[in-house]
Structure 1
């Protein structure tokens, strides 16, 4: 091979080698670009999915808490309604025996009729109807104020309530309500760990209303909280 042919051959080989190097670099750059793009897409997908997963987990936690609290509330309400029905039956019998012609006693018996008319399966309405009947006697006894200076009829009604287990019913309400409050709060603390700060503050503010004195009865406050919890995020 002549010197010129050798130079030509080397030139062709060099050009081809350079082209291959350029192609290789281009391919490498392209692969890195695609890898970076895929990485960005994956990162974006993760950022999109993560809040959804957190929210879903928080919602499931909230719904479990709602179901457990609502079941406990229904169980307590059913027990209280059952005791109230038994109490009312005995009190009505006593009042009729005492004086079936007394207008005040007859008027009070009419209030029991309103309670009896509510279906026992509607525990919340039934319980509210019972509170409507005995509300004046919740914080009173037959020997203390204000019943000491009240009418004979009022004292008779109070004695009939006490004789047939009204004090026991009130103790049941207090005990079961305290148990329910502790149960809900214990599960509520776990739920708060699964939600974001804004939702956590909203739940905590709502819960603090139960602890305030005055206003609706504590059992009713717990019932309202459970209802609110069931509608939260809906």
Structure 2
């Protein structure tokens, strides 16, 4: 393939991805068709299949690269070599990475995280994007588990329950500020300390719960 032809192909694929992302965000992933995407991208409803075989394929091409970036950032926090790093500090740093990513990509949040999604405890999702999404949740759960109980003896079902509680809180923060007019940098400086204090309160409560009855069940 010549350089010119290759560039034209990449431009068409980029137009299709952009059109699909806009439609997924505006109309919701389930209701969008490949025909609609093709029309919005300016190509025929048959030609689109030369570049993407299905709506699921398009979703993954759009969502996986940025989510992989987020996972790398979360893993950097998990893998920090400093042995003196308190578990709560690492958990807070992981949640901060998630929040900053979501607010930076607020217009794409639904496409990246909820379009075609499955339960976080689905053992083997069919789509790679959902396996990736569930790994992101698992990183939060793993860090929270170690923060609640460094021995790692907290039962799996209680670790999952605790992670969902924390995630609902963090997601509430993201939802509150996803359409805010305040510049993102100023917003984060003003509000992240409050969110992080809230994480500490939630963890304290979960530790008390674990000590009181989770280990006894």
TM range, smaller chain:
under 0.3
Higher helix share: 1
Structure with larger RCO (C-alpha < 8 A, sep 6+) = 1
- Which structure has the larger Rg? 1
Q: TM-score, normalised by structure 1?
A: 0.25
